[in-house]
A = this chain, B = another copy of it.
Amino acid sequence: MSKSIPHEAHDILRDLPTGHVATVRPDGRLSVNPVALLFEDGLVRFSTTKDRAKYRNLLADPRVAICVPHRNNPNRYVELRGHVEIEDDTDRAFIDRVARHYINEDHYPFDHPQAERVTVTIVAEQVSMRAIPLSDNPPGAPDSARA
Protein backbone atom coordinates (compact mmCIF):
# COMPACT_ATOMS: atom_id res chain seq x y z
CA MET A 1 0.00 0.00 0.00
CA SER A 2 1.27 3.39 -0.98
CA LYS A 3 0.77 6.27 1.44
CA SER A 4 -1.76 8.73 0.15
CA ILE A 5 -0.55 11.98 -1.34
CA PRO A 6 -2.05 15.15 0.12
CA HIS A 7 -4.49 17.10 -2.02
CA GLU A 8 -2.22 20.15 -1.97
CA ALA A 9 0.24 18.20 -4.12
CA HIS A 10 -2.22 17.00 -6.73
CA ASP A 11 -1.93 20.03 -8.98
CA ILE A 12 1.87 19.64 -9.02
CA LEU A 13 1.52 16.02 -10.08
CA ARG A 14 -1.25 16.58 -12.64
CA ASP A 15 0.57 19.37 -14.43
CA LEU A 16 3.52 18.47 -16.70
CA PRO A 17 6.09 18.09 -13.98
CA THR A 18 9.62 16.82 -14.11
CA GLY A 19 10.29 14.41 -11.25
CA HIS A 20 13.81 13.74 -10.03
CA VAL A 21 14.28 10.08 -9.22
CA ALA A 22 17.00 8.79 -6.91
CA THR A 23 18.20 5.22 -7.22
CA VAL A 24 21.18 3.23 -5.95
CA ARG A 25 23.64 1.90 -8.50
CA PRO A 26 25.20 -1.55 -8.28
CA ASP A 27 28.52 0.13 -7.35
CA GLY A 28 26.78 1.69 -4.32
CA ARG A 29 26.74 5.20 -5.72
CA LEU A 30 23.53 7.19 -5.78
CA SER A 31 22.04 8.50 -9.00
CA VAL A 32 19.39 11.15 -9.73
CA ASN A 33 17.65 11.56 -13.06
CA PRO A 34 14.69 13.53 -14.42
CA VAL A 35 11.54 11.72 -15.51
CA ALA A 36 8.13 12.58 -16.91
CA LEU A 37 5.44 11.04 -14.74
CA LEU A 38 1.73 10.40 -14.49
CA PHE A 39 -0.43 10.59 -11.37
CA GLU A 40 -3.00 7.83 -11.77
CA ASP A 41 -5.28 6.26 -9.16
CA GLY A 42 -3.44 8.18 -6.49
CA LEU A 43 -0.08 6.74 -7.54
CA VAL A 44 2.99 8.26 -9.16
CA ARG A 45 4.22 6.24 -12.12
CA PHE A 46 6.88 6.74 -14.75
CA SER A 47 8.12 4.84 -17.76
CA THR A 48 11.61 3.67 -18.57
CA THR A 49 13.26 1.12 -20.84
CA LYS A 50 15.13 -2.03 -19.97
CA ASP A 51 18.39 -0.66 -21.37
CA ARG A 52 18.50 2.28 -18.95
CA ALA A 53 20.63 2.37 -15.82
CA LYS A 54 17.55 3.42 -13.83
CA TYR A 55 15.85 0.13 -14.66
CA ARG A 56 18.88 -1.96 -13.79
CA ASN A 57 19.39 -0.04 -10.56
CA LEU A 58 15.77 -0.48 -9.46
CA LEU A 59 15.70 -4.16 -10.38
CA ALA A 60 18.69 -4.78 -8.11
CA ASP A 61 17.60 -2.38 -5.34
CA PRO A 62 13.96 -1.22 -5.32
CA ARG A 63 14.57 1.73 -3.00
CA VAL A 64 13.55 5.01 -4.57
CA ALA A 65 12.86 8.62 -3.80
CA ILE A 66 11.33 11.18 -6.10
CA CYS A 67 11.13 14.93 -5.73
CA VAL A 68 8.52 16.64 -7.88
CA PRO A 69 8.66 20.44 -7.87
CA HIS A 70 5.90 22.61 -9.23
CA ARG A 71 6.77 23.29 -12.85
CA ASN A 72 7.19 27.00 -12.23
CA ASN A 73 7.98 27.15 -8.54
CA PRO A 74 10.86 25.10 -7.17
CA ASN A 75 9.89 26.18 -3.65
CA ARG A 76 6.78 24.04 -3.78
CA TYR A 77 7.39 20.34 -4.16
CA VAL A 78 6.33 16.93 -2.98
CA GLU A 79 8.81 14.20 -2.11
CA LEU A 80 7.97 10.49 -2.00
CA ARG A 81 10.28 7.98 -0.37
CA GLY A 82 9.78 4.24 -0.60
CA HIS A 83 10.25 1.49 -3.13
CA VAL A 84 9.09 0.62 -6.62
CA GLU A 85 7.02 -2.02 -8.33
CA ILE A 86 7.91 -2.65 -11.96
CA GLU A 87 5.65 -4.07 -14.66
CA ASP A 88 6.27 -4.71 -18.33
CA ASP A 89 4.47 -2.25 -20.57
CA THR A 90 4.31 -4.76 -23.40
CA ASP A 91 1.37 -3.16 -25.19
CA ARG A 92 2.84 0.33 -24.60
CA ALA A 93 -0.42 1.49 -23.06
CA PHE A 94 1.35 3.43 -20.31
CA ILE A 95 4.06 5.11 -22.38
CA ASP A 96 1.38 6.15 -24.86
CA ARG A 97 -0.59 7.78 -22.05
CA VAL A 98 2.59 9.65 -21.11
CA ALA A 99 2.92 10.76 -24.75
CA ARG A 100 -0.68 11.97 -24.85
CA HIS A 101 -0.26 13.89 -21.62
CA TYR A 102 3.13 15.49 -22.30
CA ILE A 103 3.38 15.90 -26.05
CA ASN A 104 -0.17 15.40 -27.29
CA GLU A 105 0.76 12.40 -29.41
CA ASP A 106 -1.15 9.10 -29.47
CA HIS A 107 2.06 7.09 -29.59
CA TYR A 108 5.38 7.90 -28.02
CA PRO A 109 7.52 8.51 -31.09
CA PHE A 110 11.09 8.55 -29.82
CA ASP A 111 11.91 4.93 -28.93
CA HIS A 112 14.20 2.83 -31.05
CA PRO A 113 12.41 -0.26 -32.37
CA GLN A 114 13.90 -2.67 -29.83
CA ALA A 115 13.03 -0.56 -26.79
CA GLU A 116 11.28 -2.61 -24.11
CA ARG A 117 9.16 -0.35 -21.95
CA VAL A 118 8.42 -0.92 -18.28
CA THR A 119 6.15 1.03 -15.97
CA VAL A 120 7.54 1.94 -12.58
CA THR A 121 5.05 2.58 -9.77
CA ILE A 122 6.26 4.34 -6.66
CA VAL A 123 5.06 2.76 -3.45
CA ALA A 124 5.40 5.70 -1.09
CA GLU A 125 6.28 4.79 2.48
CA GLN A 126 6.78 8.45 3.39
CA VAL A 127 5.44 11.62 1.79
CA SER A 128 6.70 15.08 2.57
CA MET A 129 5.75 18.45 1.22
CA ARG A 130 7.09 21.92 1.64
CA ALA A 131 4.74 23.71 3.94
CA ILE A 132 5.76 27.20 2.83
CA PRO A 133 2.80 28.67 0.97
CA LEU A 134 4.72 30.75 -1.53
CA SER A 135 3.11 31.76 -4.77
CA ASP A 136 3.98 29.84 -7.89
CA ASN A 137 6.52 32.20 -9.36
CA PRO A 138 8.14 31.80 -12.71
CA PRO A 139 11.62 30.33 -12.55
CA GLY A 140 14.27 32.87 -11.79
CA ALA A 141 12.05 34.82 -9.48
CA PRO A 142 13.61 35.53 -6.09
CA ASP A 143 13.77 32.31 -4.23
CA SER A 144 13.56 32.66 -0.52
CA ALA A 145 13.51 29.16 0.70
CA ARG A 146 15.79 26.75 -1.05
CA ALA A 147 19.04 27.64 0.61
A→B interface (CB under 8 Å): 16, 18, 20-25, 28-36, 46-47, 63-67, 69, 71-72, 74, 77, 79, 81-82, 95, 98-99, 102-104, 108-110, 125-126, 139-140, 142-147
Contacts and interface: CB of A to CB of B under 8 A. Distances in A.
25 contacts: A16-B140, A16-B143, A18-B74, A18-B146, A22-B22, A22-B65, A29-B125, A30-B30, A30-B64, A30-B65, A32-B32, A32-B66, A33-B79, A34-B67, A34-B69, A34-B146, A35-B147, A36-B146, A36-B147, A47-B147, A98-B147, A103-B144, A110-B144, A110-B147, A139-B139
Contacts of A67: 20, 32-34
A147 B32 contact: no
A103 to B, nearest CB: 5
Given A72-B139, A147-B47, A63 B99 contact: no
Given A71-B140, A103-B142, A125-B29, A34 B77 contact: yes
Binding site secondary structure of chain A? strand
A9 to B, nearest CB: 14
A35 B108 contact: no
A139 B32 contact: no
A81 B143 contact: no
A139 B137 CA distance: 13
A28 B142 CA distance: 34
Most chain B CB within a 10 A radius of its CB, from A20, A46, A71: A20
